Amino acid sequence: MQYAGNTFIDITTGSGLENIENVFCPVFFDIDGDYDDDLFNAGNWELNYGALFRNNGDGTFTDISTNTNQGGFGFGQEVTFGDIDNDRDFDIYLCSGFGANSMWENDGTGFFTNITAESNTGCGGYSRGASFADFDNDGDLDLFVNRSTEPKMLYLNDSTGVFTDVSVQSGVYLFANGFGCSTGDIDNDGQMDIIAANCCYEQNFVFINQNTDTNFVKIKVMGRNTNTLALGAIVELFSQEQGDRYFKFKAMREISSHATLHGTNELVVHFGTGSATKLAIRIHFQSGAIAETTDVDPGSMIIMEEPEMVAVDNQHTELPSRFLTAKAYPNPFNNSIKISLVGGKSADYRIDIYNIMGEKIRSERIKNNNPLTSFYIWDGRNNNGDGVGSGIYLIKVYSGSRQARLKAALLR
Ligand SMILES: [Ca+2]
Ligand SMILES: [Ca+2]
Ligand SMILES: [Ca+2]
Ligand SMILES: [Ca+2]
Report CA(220)–ligand 4 centroid distance (Å).
15
Q: How confident is the prediction for the chain on average, in pLDDT? A: 86
Give the span between the Cα atoms of 111 and 122, in whole angstroms. Answer: 20
Q: Are 177 and 198 within 8 A, CB to CB?
A: yes
Helices (H) and strands (E) counted in the chain, each on its own, are 2, 33
Report CA(251)–ligand 1 centroid distance (Å).
18
Report CA(195)–ligand 2 centroid distance (Å).
25
Q: What is the mean pLDDT of residues 318-327?
A: 63
pLDDT tens column, 147-202: 999 999 999 999 999 999 999 999 999 999 998 899 999 999 999 999 999 998 99
- Nearest ligand for residue 135 CA: 3
Q: Are 249 and 88 within 8 A, CB to CB?
A: yes
- Name the percent of the chain lying above pLDDT 90: 50
Those residues with Cβ within 8 angstroms of residue 19's Cβ, 6 or more apart along the chain or in another chain: 49, 50
Report CA(10)–ligand 2 centroid distance (Å).
34
Report CA(337)–ligand 1 centroid distance (Å).
21
Report CA(29)–ligand 1 centroid distance (Å).
7
pLDDT tens column, 200-238: 899 999 999 999 999 999 999 999 988 999 999 999 999
Report CA(195)–ligand 4 centroid distance (Å).
11
Q: What is the mean pLDDT of residues 9-26?
A: 81
Report CA(55)–ligand 1 centroid distance (Å).
6
- Nearest ligand for residue 301 CA: 4
Nearest to 281 by CA among 290, 192, 51: 290
Give the span between the Cα atoms of 97 and 145, in whole angstroms. Answer: 13
Report CA(88)–ligand 2 centroid distance (Å).
6
For position 344, what pLDDT does the model report? 66
For residue 115, what pLDDT band results from cuts at 50, 70 and 90?
very high
- In the predicted structure, residue 314 carries a pLDDT above the cut 70: no
Q: What is the mean pLDDT of residues 307-334?
A: 64
Report CA(109)–ligand 1 centroid distance (Å).
9
For residue 258, what pLDDT band results from cuts at 50, 70 and 90?
confident
The H-or-E segment that residue 369 falls in is: none
Report CA(56)–ligand 1 centroid distance (Å).
8
Q: What is the mean pLDDT of residues 87-101?
A: 89
Give the span between the Cα atoms of 394 and 209, in whole angstroms. Answer: 40
Q: In what order do the strands lie in the sheet with 402-410?
A: 290-296, 279-284, 234-241, 246-254, 402-410, 391-399, 348-354, 360-367
For position 8, what pLDDT does the model report? 86
Give the span between the Cα atoms of 230 and 283, in whole angstroms. Answer: 10
Give the span between the Cα atoms of 129 and 262, in whole angstroms. Answer: 8
The string of DSSP letters for 388-411 reads: PPSEEEEEEEEETTEEEEEEEEE-
- In the predicted structure, residue 275 carries a pLDDT above the cut 50: yes
- In the predicted structure, residue 342 carries a pLDDT above the cut 80: no
pLDDT tens column, 355-391: 988 899 999 988 766 655 678 899 999 999 999 999 9
Give the span between the Cα atoms of 114 and 161, in whole angstroms. Answer: 12
